[in-house]
Amino acid sequence: MASAPVTVFACGDVMTGRGIDQILPHSGNPGLREPQAGDARDYVRLAERVSGPIPAPADFGWPWGDALAVVDSMAPAVRLINLETSVTSSDAFAPGKRVHYRMSPANLPCVAAIRPDACALANNHVLDFGPPGLAETLAVLTGAGLRIAGAGRDLAEARRPAAIPLPGGGRVLVFSRGSRSSGIPRDWAAAPARPGVCLLPAPPATTGAGSAASTGRATGGAGELAAQLREAKRDGDLAVVSIHWGPNWGYEVSPDEVGLAHALIDAGADLIHGHSSHHPRPVEVYRGKLILYGCGDCVNDYEGIAGHREFRGDLRLLYFASLAPGTGDLESLTMVAMRSRKMRLEHASPADARWLAGTLTEASLPFTAGARCLPDGTLRLHWK
């Protein structure tokens, strides 16, 4: 069993398709079927209009930029990302969707550059190119030796956690689930004989008012996953539940999200890794366990897209959670502020880091948590 704290690196959505794919060495078909864009290179031009020329082709590490050295310097035991794109050459555009993300399989070294130990796939873009695109995505990722969770060729595979061995013994189990609240179509749900994502059932109807900090237990979806947590964990294991849920914008956390997160921790989860929002959402420590309600974006091609500027979507956070061995209790959470510019992550300015700390503190007040900005520009969580 590990005797030293286990540091888990987690980040928000990693979308290496569309415009990102077009600046990499082996760009795929740029064709899109979006109302606002018919060519993925339009997103490159938008970014260049704001920030200036982007190298083409850029090397595989370009989108990660300064984050590569940051993550290496923190030496996490586990690296976890939410990979929010299909990895396929398929042209089978999923019907009924306004936005489709795909990256060329030949550009997979861009994902591998951060050396992820697990890729969560239960999100609203992994099936953007239908079952053929999902099948190719799974084959490409597993063929490259990357662990996956949250999507599969059938329900059993989609439910299966990624198991990451720890040097001192024990494992970190990563469970990936998606919620309809993030825009995942109902018919994307995996079934015993159907490929898809591991989709949480809708929460039951609730009565009465409640706030994000209420003690109500809206535990929709917790039953099956809670049972799996109890069954899968062994002595020395830690469990991370990675959930794609909630809207893209806004700091409010629904009672359903709070209730589900609490129920999963009660069942044995040690860290809740939430994502889908385009900016960081509140943080909570419940019964000693960390809940990241929304990690915000990490890598994408959104630079230059108008709207929602008050949320500062260009600012990103890299999360490093230090968990106590054996118990999984949070010892510390360090967050490193980054900024996306020229489709590349760079260190945020001191002023931007302070803005993130203040915004995260205000958003997390209902959970009696907050962030302070240290002299070196990193953020540190404080909680009661």
Task: List, for residues 164-192, the tens digit of each pLDDT value.
Answer: 999 889 999 999 999 999 999 999 999 99
Read off the tokens for 145.
């030796």
pLDDT tens, position by position, 193-203: 999 999 998 76
**Other CB atoms within 10 A of residue 160 CB:** 18
| Amino acid in the structure at residue 122 | A
Average pLDDT score over residue span 334-356: 98
Cα–Cα distance for residue pair 238/69, rounded to 1 Å = 26
pLDDT tens, position by position, 97-132: 999 999 999 999 999 999 999 999 999 999 999 999
Helix (H), strand (E), coil (C) string for 348-370: CCHHHHHHHHHHHHHHCHHHCEE
Question: How many angstroms from the chain centroid is the CA of residue 165?
Answer: 21
Greatest Cα-to-Cα distance within the chain, rounded to the nearest angstrom: 55
Q: How far apart are the first and last CA of the chain?
A: 29
**Other CB atoms within 10 A of residue 220 CB:** 17
* pTM of the complete model: 0.95
Cα–Cα distance for residue pair 98/117, rounded to 1 Å = 31
From 117, 84, 118, select the one nearest 275 (Cα to Cα): 84
From 188, 220, 360, select the one nearest 277 (Cα to Cα): 360
pLDDT tens, position by position, 293-341: 999 999 999 999 989 999 999 999 999 999 999 899 999 999 999 999 9
Residues forming a β-bridge with 184 = none
Read off the tokens for 58.
């850029």
DSSP three-state, residue 71: helix
What pLDDT is recorded for position 56? 87
Give kind and range of the element (H or E) at residue 263. helix 255-266
Domains parsed from the chain with CATH numbers: 6-17+61-204+212-383 (3.60.21.10)
Q: What does DSSP assign to residue 160?
A: P
Cα–Cα distance for residue pair 318/337, rounded to 1 Å = 7
DSSP three-state, residue 76: coil
Bridge pairing between strands 171-178 and 238-244: parallel
Angle at CA of residue 100, ends 97 and 105, nearest 5°: 150
Average pLDDT score over residue span 14-25: 98
Angle at CA of residue 360, ends 303 and 221, nearest 5°: 90
What pLDDT is recorded for position 1? 55
What pLDDT is recorded for position 219? 52
DSSP three-state, residue 44: helix
pLDDT at 207 over 90: no
